[in-house]
Amino acid sequence: MCGIIGYAGPREPVGVVSEALSRLEYRGYDSSGVAFFGREGSLTVVRASGKLSRLTEALQGTTGLPGTAIGHIRWATHGAPTEENAHPHRSGPIVLVHNGIIENEHALRQELIGEGVVFSSETDTEVLAHRIHRAFREEGNLPAAVRKGLAGVEGSYALAVLCEERPGQLVVLRKGAPLILGEAEGEYFAASDVPAFLKWTRRVMPLPPEVLATLSPEGLSLCRLGDGEPVPAVFEEVPWDPVQAEKGHYRHFMEKEIYEGPRAIIDTLEGRLAEENSRVILPELVRLGPNPTEIVFVACGTSYHAALLGRLMIESFSSISVRVEIASEFRYRPLRARKGAWVIGISQSGETADTLGALELARKEGYLTVGVTNVGGSSITRETEATLLTRAGPEIGVASTKAFVAQVTLVWLLALYFGRRESPEVRKSLAALVRSPTRLEAFLGSVDPNAVDRMARQVLEARFVIFIGRGIDYPLAIEGALKLKEITYRPADGYPGGELKHGPIALVESGVLVVAPLVDPLLRLKEISNIREIEARGGTVLTIGPAGDAIEPLPSFPLPASEGWDGVFLASAVLQLLAYRAASMAGNDVDQPRNLAKSVTVE
C-alpha cells in the first residue's frame, strides 16, 4: 500500500506536502515524490528512491507557489523501488499520484503503446497518466478528463491529479483504496489517512467510492464518476481524546488492529527484501551458521496457528522438515529433534510462559533457538540465539489480529529465505507477498459491513459453530474458531476437514453452523465434498473464498482470486471481522474479553 496527499490552499505547498508525507511514512518507504507549481508557474516534479529523508534532502530549500500540490510515498507492487518508478508520474501536462493496483494494466499499456505512447516507468500508475492526458486533449477540462481517462480501468485506486494548464485545480477520487478529505478555512486536503493533515484540521470527510472531488483554494465540488451528478460534501469534526486518538475512528482497538493488517505486513517486510524486491534477506539468522536440518516451532494459541502455516510454507519451498508443537505439551516431553535442528518460538508478547519454557528446554538440550516476537526487548529476545521481529506495532486487543498477519508474513519470508531463489515458484510467491499489503488494503476497503453482520447474526443464532479446512485452510479454520470463542464466548471448534467423518460429523444437524475457509486451491474439491456431506445432514455452511469454477456455488463470502498465499491474509481478515462483529453484537468487552489476558505469563 502507498500513501498519497493532495493540498489546495494558501500555504507554501512543498512544506505542507512534505510534512503530510512524514505522517504517512508507515504506508511505504521505498521511494517518494512531490509535484508543485514552481516560481515560474511550471508544474515541477521531484522524486527520490529510498526513505522519505532522501526526498527531504532533495527538496532542501525548495518552495512552491501557493495553490495546489501532491505527494506520494510508495510501497512497490508494479515495478522495482527505483526513482523512475517513484510517483508522481507525468504525461504531458498531467501529473498524478496513485495508491492501489490496476488489474488490467497490461492491456491498457499495450493499447497506449499501439498509439505511440512511450513509457518511462514499469508502473501501472503511468498508464493512468497517459489515459488522462489523452482525455484532457479531447475534453480540455481536468475533471472531465479524469472521468474519461478512468473509464474501463479495473482495479483499486486512490488518485490525486494536477494539470500544468489548470493551476490551482486538484482532482481526487478513489475506488477500493482509502482517501479522506480535510477541510479548513480556505484550504483543502486529500490523504490516504487522517494523520497526514490532522495538524491543520479535524474536519474530515471520507471520500465515497467513485466520487470525484475537485479542490481549489476557492472551494470544492464533488460529483459521481459515472454520470457526473453532483454529490454533497459532508464534513464532520473528529473529536479525538488521547485514547480515542489511539483508536482513531474505530470503536475498539481490535477493529483498528484488523485494519492495520496491511501496515503490519509492510513494516514486517521492511529491510528484508533486497535486489529490487527479488530476494529475501534475514540478517538476524546469518550468524546461526548453515540452514537447520529440521525446524521445530513451539507456540501457543494464535501463534501456534501461524506456526502451522509456517510448516506448510517452508516445506513447500525447501527440503527442511518442520514440526509444530503446542509449547505447553512440548516442554514436558523428551526433545527428539535432529542434530542441527532449530527450535523457533513464536510469541506476539514474547512473554508466554509455556513458549519460554519450551525454548529453555531446547537450549538445555543443546539446540539453537530463535524467537519470533512482536515486542522488542521481551523475554524471548533475551533467551534465544536470534530474534526475528514482527513489526505489527503495539497490539492492544487481547484477540490477536494484526500480529497474526505479521507472523504469517514472517513465516512466509522464512519459506522464501530457505527456498531456492532461482525457482520460479519462489519468485512468483515473493512477488505475491510484495503485493499482498496493497491487495489486503483494497480488500478491507471493499468489505461490506452488512455482509459481515449477516454472517455474525448466523453465528450468534447457531447452537454450535464448527470451522473446517484442509491444507492452508486448516490453520485458518482453527484460528477462526479461536477468535470466535475468545470474544463471543460461544461454543465453537475447528477441525481438519478430513477429520469430520472420524467423529465430529455426528455433531451436524439443523442449527449447527459450519464455517469453511476455501483458499487452498490444491484441496478445494475435497473441501467441497466435506461441505456437501454437512449440508446433506442438515448443517448450514458459510464458505469464505474466491469463486471456484462454474459447477461450484459462489462462496457465501467471496474473496478476490488469491495470489500465492495472500488468500490467507484475506480469509483471516474475514474471520477476524466475523468474530469482532459477533462479539460487538453480543455486547461483549471486545478488547478485554473475560477470563483472558493479553499475555499468559504463567503456566
Q: Which residues are catalytic?
A: 2, 598
Shortest distance in whole angstroms from residue 504 CB to ligand AGP: 21
Q: Which region, judged by CB under 6 A, interacts with ligand AGP, from 315-323, 358-366, 395-403, 529-537?
A: 395-403
Give 352 or 369: the residue with its C-beta nearer to ligand AGP. Answer: 352
**Residue 599, interface with ligand AGP (CB under 6 A)?**
yes
Whole-angstrom CA distances from 137 to 42, 165, 547 are 18, 11, 40
Q: Which residues, 333 to 392, sit near ligand AGP by CB under 6 A?
A: 347-349, 352, 355
Q: Give the integer Cα–Cα distance in Å for 267 and 29.
A: 9
The distance of closest approach from Cβ of residue 425 to ligand AGP in the complex, given in angstroms and rounded to an integer, is 30
**Min dist. Cβ of residue 521 to ligand AGP (A):** 27
Residue 600 touching ligand AGP (CB under 6 A)? yes
> CB 55 → ligand AGP: shortest distance, Å?
37
Is 488 an interacting residue with respect to ligand AGP (CB under 6 A)? no
Q: Which residue in this structure is represented by grid cell 479461536? A: 482
Q: Cβ closer to ligand AGP: 99 or 347?
A: 347
The answer to whether residues 51 and 81 touch, using CB atoms and an 8 Å cutoff, is no
Q: Rounded to 10 degrees, what is the CA torsion of 399, 470, 415, 445?
A: -50
Cα distance between residue 55 and residue 360, in whole Å: 46
* Cα gap 557→545, rounded to integer Å: 7
Distance CA 378, CA 9 (A): 46
Q: Which is nearer to ligand AGP, 10 or 376 (CB)?
A: 376
Buried/exposed code over 383-405 (b: 16+ C-beta within 10 A; e: otherwise): bbbbbbbbbbbebbbbbbbbbbb
Q: Which is nearer to ligand AGP, 224 or 323 (CB)?
A: 323
Minimum separation from the CB atom of position 158 to ligand AGP (A): 31
Dist CA 95 CA 25 (whole Å):
21
Q: How far is the CB of 375 from ligand AGP (least distance, A)?
A: 8
Lookup: cell for 514: 459450519
Q: 156 or 379, CB closer to ligand AGP?
A: 379
258 binds ligand AGP (CB under 6 A): no
Residues numbered 406-465 forming contacts with ligand AGP, rule: CB under 6 A = none
Q: How are strands ordered across the β-sheet holding 211-216?
A: 89-91, 94-99, 157-163, 170-175, 211-216, 219-224, 230-231
In angstroms, give the least distance from the CB of 325 to ligand AGP: 13
The whole-angstrom separation of Cα 255 and Cα 581 is: 9
Asked if residue 582 binds ligand AGP (CB under 6 A), the reply is no
Instruction: Please give the span between the terminal C-alpha atoms of the chain, in angstroms, as a whole number.
Output: 40
Candidates 201-209, 295-303, 530-538, 579-587 — which segment interacts with ligand AGP by CB under 6 A? Answer: 295-303
Q: Contact between 398 and ligand AGP (CB under 6 A)?
A: yes
Residues in a beta bridge with 255: none
Instruction: Yes or no: say if 578 and 459 are a contact pair by the CB < 8 Å rule.
Output: yes
Residue of 13, 33, 44, 118 lying closest to 83 (CA atoms): 33
Among 302, 488, 543, 584, binds ligand AGP (CB under 6 A): 302
* CA atoms of 130 and 500, how far apart (whole Å): 55
Q: How far is the CB of 463 from ligand AGP (least distance, A)?
A: 24
Is 371 or 555 the residue whose CB approaches ligand AGP more closely?
371
Whole-angstrom Cα distance, residue 517 to residue 574? Answer: 9
Total of chain residues touching ligand AGP, rule CB under 6 A: 15
Q: Which of 95, 170, 399, 518 binds ligand AGP (CB under 6 A)?
A: 399
C-alpha span between 169 and 513 (Å, rounded): 54
Which CB sits closer to ligand AGP, 145 or 398?
398
31/352 with CB nearer ligand AGP: 352
Rounded CA separation 359/352 (Å): 11
Residue placing its CB nearer to ligand AGP in the complex, 197 or 404? 404
Which range, of 188-196, 252-260, 398-406, 466-474, touches ligand AGP by CB under 6 A? 398-406
- What is the grid cell recorded at 582? 459477533
One of 300, 335, 426, 459 touching ligand AGP (CB under 6 A): 300
Distance of CA 331 to the CA centre of its chain: 35
With beta carbons less than 8 A apart as the criterion, state whether 321 and 294 touch: yes
Q: Minimum distance from CB of 324 to ligand AGP (Å)?
A: 14
Distance CA 440, CA 462 (A): 29
Question: Helix, strand or coil for residue 155?
Answer: strand
Residue nearest to ligand AGP (CB): 301
CA 551 from centre of chain: 31
d(C-alpha 83, C-alpha 73), whole Å: 12
Residue from 121, 125, 400, 576 binding ligand AGP (CB under 6 A)? 400
Rounded to a whole number of angstroms, the minimum distance from the CB of residue 402 to ligand AGP is: 11
Give yes or no for residue 530 binding ligand AGP (CB under 6 A): no
Residues 361, 330: contact at Cβ < 8 Å?
Answer: yes
Looking at the Cβ atoms of 169 and 379, the one nearer to ligand AGP is: 379
* The total number of residues written for the chain in this structure: 603
Kindly list the residues in this chain that would bind ligand AGP in the complex (CB under 6 A).
300-303, 347-349, 352, 355, 398-400, 486, 599-600
